[in-house]
A and B are shown apart, each in its own frame.
Chain A
Amino acid sequence: MNRLRLATVWLGGCSGCHMSFLDLDEFLIDLAGQVDIVYSPFIDAKVYPEGVDAVLVEGAIANEEHQTLVRQVRSRTRTLISFGDCAVTGNITALRNRLGSALPVLTRVYQENGDLHAAIPAEAGILPPLLDRVTPVHAVVPVDFYIPGCPPPAARIRAVLEQLIASEPLHLEGREIKFG
């Protein structure tokens, strides 16, 4: 049986969900023996590969690059999992939405500094423009499963990984679908 091809991606978040993933502790050693991590901030792959079995997507969609990347991830992955409250609901990253759009958020930062000539940086192809509205992942692509939590505890992450490895249907219930 081929090893599961697993990926993790972080978008507009704090990386706490990935830190909770690392809280798998010595199970990471077991995981290394059972799956192939083909793309992740923890490894040096620069391009999201084809033929990914499952991906954990942390973070909300906050800029154009997140949009592009998550669409690419969706097209190259069988099971896409929204990982953590920012991906599931927008959460903290979406708190800027109450300001209406990106511009007032960006310009508010400069108005406090009297001698600053406000200029929003733009380097084509490098700095992604902010979206006016931060959204959860499922606003952009269909999502196959949700792991809530801020961050999801490691035990919850492990339960889902074990289901993926065993090719079981993904399922969380009760306390395991709490936010926060």
Chain B
Amino acid sequence: MTQRIVIDPVTRIEGHAKITIHLDDDGTVAGARFHVAEFRGFEVFCEGRPFWEMPGITARICGICPVSHLLASSKAGDALLSVTIPPAAAKLRRLMNLAQIVQSHALSFFHLSAPDLLLGMDSDPARRNIFGLIAAEPELARGGIRLRQFGQEIIEALGGRKIHPAWSVPGGVREALTAEHRERIRARVPEAKATVQAALARFKELLARFREEAETLGNFPTLFLALTGPDGSWEHYDGRICVTDAEGHIVADGLDPARYRDFLGEAVEPHSYLKSPYYLPLGYPGGIYRVGPLARLNVCARIGTPLADRELEEYRQRGGRTVNSSFWYHYARLIEILAAAESIEQLLDDPDLLGDGLRAHAGINLHEGVGVSEAPRGTLFHHYQVDDHGLIRKVNLIIATGQNNLAMNRTIAQIARHFVKSASIPEGILNRLEAGIRAFDPCLSCATHAVGTMPLHVQLVGPDGDVRDEVWRN
């Protein structure tokens, strides 16, 4: 007879989720499941709408990363128009994407996970949050709040508002960056860099304290997938897809993101609800892969900005050329903030940025278009089919967090097996299950745009540690 323990809700993440742990009579963990309890149905209710509306509608998939959807949707629109957008527009879109990486990663680290990392996984739940952090670590908390603000203010400078800016459109962008705003942004870069460098220093100190967590909060081999630039450098807006394995070998390189269907399958189970992306050539579930900061740093050869590259080198010395521990997502996220801040600084000096020409104008030239970019949480695909009038016939969205769902499920099973000894689970252990999810910085509003749960893998593990039974379900 199994006992079920429920964590409801999982807090300090984006979206609605629960974790269930199933125990045998003797307290052995029979399995752990990650349930996402939300659904809105974007892929369905967008049918029939003009593709011009899609950036604005799909932005509302998520309040943390609307920019990701704006950009991927605009790029799908660019493809339907068959245009190459003017250089100023491309660079302005890049600037907004970098700003979003800063604010979203800052939120994940400072507002959501730092309470665990700095106050402790077992600390008083009543204080273990951003408000408790403000009291205990005022300087760090203020720095983190201002770092997120830095990213948000760039988005506002470009798009007129911080959340759901109506700015990037098929063919380009609607407004230029003023010289005044450019200088205001430039003035805030040094503080942003200082804040993230201080956070990196703190995190490196913490690594020793969280050795057990680094080993057990989602530490297992998978493939890694991300966009890269032409020389294998860190890329967030354009580029080609590269896939590497757990030992760092390149499995595939230079893949055209628009042809994602050739190499990404969406696994379907007999009772499956949410399709689970996997790397087609390796089948399911062997083709399990991770996306996001951990993947991007594993996959890229280098970042291309000086401070971040120095940090990346140290990261690789400490963790190996390819890092499989999901706990290290936090470390990777901080390096990406630094990379973004340096890239913003470089981009501000690019003469193209203030150039004329923000829009390429055309009518429908293709009936199918795919737009891909790196959202903070991983690679994002918007795939639209339209009729002659540009009305949506079909939408398929592959969302970053969805691509991590197998890994998240495996993570909580690993944490449960390691830490849960009986039906009486200490609060700090329940929090570690949640912390395992927080490391992925999941965006569940995004992941469940269309479906209400995530596929789950339940393993029945006997007292001797052998896997007695395995069920893929959803």
Contacts and interface: CB of A to CB of B under 8 A. Distances in A.
Interface of A: 10, 12-20, 22-23, 25-26, 28-29, 32, 37, 40-46, 62-63, 65, 91-93, 95-96, 98-99, 105-106, 108-109, 112-113, 115-117, 119-121, 123, 125-128, 130, 150-151, 153-154
B453 to A, nearest CB: 5
Contacts of A44: 11-12, 125-126, 128-129, 431
Contacts of A95: 40-41, 45, 57
A116 B269 CA distance: 7
B260 to A, nearest CB: 16
A171 B125 CA distance: 34
Contacts of A10: 16
Given A28-B130, A32-B134, A46-B9, 15 more contacts: A15-B63, A15-B64, A16-B66, A20-B162, A20-B163, A25-B149, A41-B11, A41-B12, A44-B125, A62-B40, A63-B39, A109-B44, A119-B270, A121-B273, A125-B6
A13 to B, nearest CB: 8
Nearest to A15: B63
Contacts of B44: 96, 99, 105, 108-109
A16 B131 CA distance: 20
A157 B451 CA distance: 31
Contacts, number: 171
B275 interface: yes
Contacts of A32: 131, 134-135
B134 A14 contact: no
A97 to B, nearest CB: 9
A126 B18 contact: yes
A108 B450 CA distance: 10
A42 B60 contact: no
Q: How large is the interface on B (under 10, 10 to 19, 20 to 34, 35 or more residues)?
A: 35 or more
Contacts of A112: 394
A15 B14 contact: yes
A16 B146 contact: no
Contacts of B41: 95-96, 99, 105-106, 109
Contact of A29 (B16, B18, B141, B268): B141
B267 to A, nearest CB: 10
Contacts of A45: 11, 125-126
A106 B273 CA distance: 9
Contacts of B161: 153
Interface string B132-167: 001100100110011011001000000001111000
10 contacts: A13-B63, A26-B142, A29-B134, A42-B129, A42-B131, A45-B11, A63-B38, A96-B41, A109-B450, A113-B275
Interface centre among A13, A22, A62, A91 (most CB of B within 10 A): A22
Contacts of B63: 13-20, 151
Contacts of B40: 12, 62, 92-93, 95-96
B187 to A, nearest CB: 17
Contact of B152 (A13, A23, A96, A105): A23
A96 B451 CA distance: 13
A45 B57 CA distance: 32
Contacts of B60: 14, 16, 91-92, 150
Contacts of B163: 16, 19-20, 23, 151
A98 B48 CA distance: 12
Contact of B452 (A14, A121, A153): A121
Nearest to A112: B394
Given A46-B8, A128-B37, A28 B145 contact: yes
Contact of B38 (A12, A117, A125): A12
Nearest to A21: B63
Contacts of A123: 35
A121 B9 contact: no
B233 interface: no
Interface in B299-358: none
Interface centre among B7, B38, B453 (most CB of A within 10 A): B38
B145 A29 contact: yes
A23 to B, nearest CB: 6
Interface in B58-108: 60-64, 66, 107
A153 to B, nearest CB: 7
B20 interface: yes
B272 interface: yes
Contact of B64 (A19, A37, A98, A126): A19
